[in-house]
Amino acid sequence: MTDIAQPTRTKKDFASDQEVRWCPGCGDYAILNALQKHMAESGADPAKTVFVSGIGCSSRFPYYMNTYGFHTIHGRAPAVATGVKVANPELDVWIVTGDGDSLSIGGNHLAHILRRNLDVNILMFNNEIYGLTKGQYSPTSPVGTKKKSTPMGSIDRPFEPAQFAVGSQATFVARTIDQDMKHMSKTLQAAAAHKGTSFIEILQNCVIFNKDFYANTVEKKVRPDRTVDLVAGEPMIYGADRDKGLRFNGFTVERCAAEEADVWRPDTPSHAPTVLIAGMRDDPEMPVPVGILRSVEAPVYETGVNAQVEDAIATKGAGDLKDLVYDGEIWTVD
C-alpha cells in the first residue's frame, strides 16, 4: 500500500453541484455528510472514487458526490460494481443501497458479491420501509407492519441483515446509526481499511413513511441501555452506567453483570458469534448491537481474476491474435 496522503481536500470538495433532494429531516443527509467528511479526512482522490447505486431514495447518493458515479437499476449495484472493480481494481468503489434494493430485488447480487469478497464498501441504509414507492413494508420490516400494501399487517419474517451477510460469507459486517456522526465516521474508517467487501448497515430514519421507527433504540435517553457498541478485543458492556454485560452460553447470548461479560471477537473462524449477536434484535429485552460485527481476512475476487490473466500470460506468453485464429489443424489450398 502507498502512504496515506495528507488530506488536502475538504468536505466541500466532495459535494457535487447538484441540489440535494431528499425530504427535509431525512437521515440520508447525515450519512452524506459523514461520507463527504470521511472522504476528505481519508485523503480520497475523487477521480479514483466511484459510487455505484441501485434504485431507491438512498440510491440518489452518487449524484451528490463529486466523484465518479453510476446510478444503475434496481438491486443491481453489486453486479455493476463487480464489473467496475474487476475492470479497474485501482478504483475505490462504494455501493449505496437500501433495505429493499439490497435485500429484496437485489438479494441475489448482495449474496454473491459478499461471497466473492470484492474489495468494495457497501452502505446499506436500513429504514425498514420502501420510501421511493411511498411507504410499503420492506424485507426488514417487523412482522405485523401495517402499511398501505399490508393493511392487516405484514406476515413474512424480516431479514436480519448481518445474519444474511455472514451467511453469504461476508468478511466485514458493521452496523451504525445515522444520528451518531462519531460512530458513523469510526465505522466508515474501519470499513474503508478492510480489504474485501465491507457491509455496513446504517439505521436510517425515514421521516415520512417510518418516522422514528428506531426511536426506542437510538434516542439519546434510551440508547445506552438499548444498544451495545461492539469493539474487537473489548468486553461486551453497555448501559448508561456501563454496568450491563453480555456473554455467550452455548448457542444463546445472555445478559450478565459487566464484569462477567465476554470479550467480543469479530474474527473467530466461525461466524456463529455474529449470528447470535445479530439475532438479539429480535428480543426486546436485549440490546441492539452496533459496531463491528464481523471482520476476517479472505482472498479478494478482483485480485484473483486479474492474477489468473497475469499467470496465463506468464506461463503461455502474451497471446497474439494469430495464435488464436491460426490454431489447430490448418491447411492451405493453392
Partner 1 sequence: MTPPTAQDTSAGELPLQQLDRVVIRFAGDSGDGMQVTGNQFTRTSALFGNDLATLPDFPAEIRAPVGTRPGVSGFQLQFSSSDIHTPGDQPDVLVAMNPAALMVNIGTLKTGGIVIVNNDAFKSTDLKKAKCETNPLEDGSLDGFRVIEVGINSRVSEALADSPLSNKDKQRCKNFYTLGLMYWVYSRPLEPTLEWLEEKFKGKDDLIAANQTALRAGYNAGDIRELFQGQYEVPKATLQPGTYRNVMGNQALAIGLVAGARLAGLKPVYCSYPITPASSVLEFLAGYKNHGVVTIQSEDEIAAICSAIGASFAGTLGMTGTSGPGMALKGEAMGLAISTELPLVIVDVQRAGPSTGMPTKVEQSDLLSSIFGRNGDAPMPVVAISKPSDAFELSIEACRIAVQYMTPVILLSDNFIANGAEPWALPDLESLEPFPVQFTTEKTEDFQSFGRDEKLARPWVKPGTEGMEFRIGGLEKAPSSNISYDPDNHQAMTDIRHQKVRNVADSIPTPEVHGADSGDLLVLGWGSTVGILRQAVENARANGQSVSRIHLTHVWPLPHGLDEIFARFKAILIPEMNVAQMTYLLRGELPDHNYIPFNKVTGQPFLVTEVEAEIKRVLDEHAGA
Which residue ranges make up the site for partner 1 (CB under 8 A)? 16, 18, 46-48, 50-52, 62-63, 65-74, 76, 78-88, 90-91, 108-109, 111-112, 305-306, 308-309, 311-313, 315-319, 321-334
**Shortest CB 318 distance to partner 1, Å:** 7
Contacts of 269 (CB under 8 A, 6+ apart): none
Residue 256 or 305 with smaller CB distance to partner 1: 305
201 contacts 228 by C-beta, under 8 angstroms: no
Residue 64 or 238 with smaller CB distance to partner 1: 64
**Shortest CB 89 distance to partner 1, Å:** 10
Give which of 212, 196, 193, 192 is closest to 204, Cα–Cα: 212
How far CA 196 is from CA of 103, 122, 129, 132, 302, in Å, comes to 20, 11, 28, 30, 10
**Shortest CB 82 distance to partner 1, Å:** 5
**Shortest CB 10 distance to partner 1, Å:** 16
Residue 1 or 309 with smaller CB distance to partner 1: 309
**Shortest CB 113 distance to partner 1, Å:** 9
**Shortest CB 83 distance to partner 1, Å:** 3
Residue 14 or 159 with smaller CB distance to partner 1: 14
Residue 80 or 292 with smaller CB distance to partner 1: 80
Residue 54 or 291 with smaller CB distance to partner 1: 54
131: which 3 cell numbers? 420510501
177: which 3 cell numbers? 446509526
Cα–Cα distance, 292 to 234 (Å, whole number): 12
Please report, as a single letter, which amino acid is at residue 22. W
Residue 87 or 257 with smaller CB distance to partner 1: 87
**Shortest CB 79 distance to partner 1, Å:** 4
Angle between helices 301-316 and 77-87 (to 10 degrees): 40
332: how many CB neighbours lie within 10 A of its CB?
4
Contacts of 62 (CB under 8 A, 6+ apart): 51, 52, 53, 69, 70, 71, 96
Cα–Cα distance, 279 to 210 (Å, whole number): 22
166: how many CB neighbours lie within 10 A of its CB?
24
Q: What is the DSSP letter of 147?
A: B
